């Protein structure tokens, strides 16, 4: 059964790359944490704060179902999300920068917050594809933008909440990232540090997967705008830059297009769903928690009201 996006759509072509699927979500969350309404709203309404990677894994699977799944799979994901978002509303329990004083309201159904969620997601998917696969042309960027707007509409965002074109989005989003509206709460700084690999939890990834996860952390951290890295206080030394450049080159070589008749034995690894790896991460987190080991010690506790 066909999904909401055709196989030849830019959304499917971009999101089917595992290099994108395994990195864009982390990047979007690290950057998106500078938006206090989005971050605090999520933290206050997380049902199992002790299992952050399970929540992130579930969110990634929901997003992927709408992009890459059948209509039936996408509709189940959308229905689940609509039910969860119906209860996500409240106020900030403390000041979060000059633009977000204590008592500022948030609601998951607020069109402006829906748009910002989509904007962080789109910007990261585009950035990671440009970095790790190939740079999209102007027409391809516009087509991807329109697909993401449609994706956000499926989740309930009014079309009028988003800029009409990619150039309009680019100008407004870059202006936002350069503005004084950005603010990291203490929790956001902790969570972002874990997501970018700058902090480690009470346990590590399984040994066979550690090189992969270390590389993903490096790619996410290196892809961040310099101002965001500075806000978090992430170290970014010449050694980091050299390793980052090497990892980027390696990824791009894997995605070099070859003639159709040339065998591509790595395609099953390079393209497709990220669900199997996400389930390994989520299962590992649940197992370690049973032994009293937390993946993000000190983070994602609900703020006091």
Q: How many residues does the chain have?
A: 305
Query: Per residue of the chain (305 residues), what is the pLDDT tens digit?
Result: 689 999 999 999 999 999 999 999 999 999 999 999 999 999 888 878 889 999 999 999 999 999 999 999 999 999 999 999 999 999 999 999 999 999 999 999 999 999 999 999 999 999 999 999 999 999 999 999 999 999 999 999 999 999 999 999 999 999 999 999 999 999 999 999 999 999 989 888 778 888 999 999 999 999 999 999 999 999 999 999 999 999 999 999 999 876 666 667 777 889 999 988 888 889 999 999 999 999 999 886 554 44
Q: Which is nearest to 60 in space by CA: 210, 269, 223, 279?
A: 279
Tell me what pLDDT residue 305 has: 40
- What phi and psi, each to the nearest 5 degrees, are found at residue 31? -70, -40
Tell me what pLDDT residue 178 has: 97
Tell me what pLDDT residue 304 has: 44
Contact between residue 154 and residue 241 where contact means Cβ atoms under 8 Å apart: no
Q: Which is nearest to 43 in space by CA: 161, 13, 146, 32?
A: 32
Tell me what pLDDT residue 236 has: 96
Cβ contacts of 75-82, under 8 Å, gap ≥ 24: 78/154, 78/155, 81/155, 82/155, 82/156
Tell me what pLDDT residue 215 has: 96
Cα dist from 166 to 159, 160, 228, whole Å: 14, 14, 22
Q: How far apart are CA 169 and CA 77, in angstroms?
A: 26
Tell me what pLDDT residue 1 has: 65
């Amino acid at each position: 059964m066909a999904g909401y996006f055709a196989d030849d759509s830019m959304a499917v072509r971009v999101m089917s790359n595992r290099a994108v699927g395994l990195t864009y979500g982390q990047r979007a969350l690290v950057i998106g944490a500078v938006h206090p309404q989005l971050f605090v709203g999520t933290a206050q309404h997380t049902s199992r704060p002790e299992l952050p990677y399970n929540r992130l894994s579930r969110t990634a699977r929901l997003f992927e179902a709408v992009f890459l799944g059948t209509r039936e799979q996408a509709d189940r994901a959308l229905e689940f999300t609509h039910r969860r978002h119906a209860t996500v509303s409240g106020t900030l329990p403390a000041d979060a920068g000059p633009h977000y004083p204590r008592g500022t309201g948030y609601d998951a159904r607020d069109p402006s917050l829906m748009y910002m969620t989509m904007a962080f997601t789109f910007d990261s998917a585009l950035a990671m594809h440009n970095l790790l696969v190939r740079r999209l042309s102007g027409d391809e960027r516009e087509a991807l933008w329109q697909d993401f707007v449609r994706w956000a509409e499926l989740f309930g965002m009014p079309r009028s909440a988003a800029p009409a074109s990619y150039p309009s989005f680019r100008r407004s989003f870059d202006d936002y990232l350069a503005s004084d509206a950005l603010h990291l709460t203490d929790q956001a700084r902790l969570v972002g540090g874990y997501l970018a690999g700058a902090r480690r939890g009470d346990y590590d990834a399984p040994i066979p997967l550690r090189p992969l996860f270390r590389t993903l952390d490096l790619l996410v951290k290196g892809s961040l705008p310099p101002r965001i890295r500075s806000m978090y206080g992430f170290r970014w030394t010449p050694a980091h830059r050299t390793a980052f450049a090497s990892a980027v080159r390696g990824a791009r070589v894997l995605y070099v297009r070859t003639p159709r008749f040339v065998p591509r034995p790595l395609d099953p690894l390079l393209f497709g769903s990220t669900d199997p790896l996400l389930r390994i991460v989520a299962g590992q987190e649940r197992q370690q928690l049973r032994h009293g080991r937390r993946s993000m010690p000190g983070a994602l506790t609900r703020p006091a009201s």
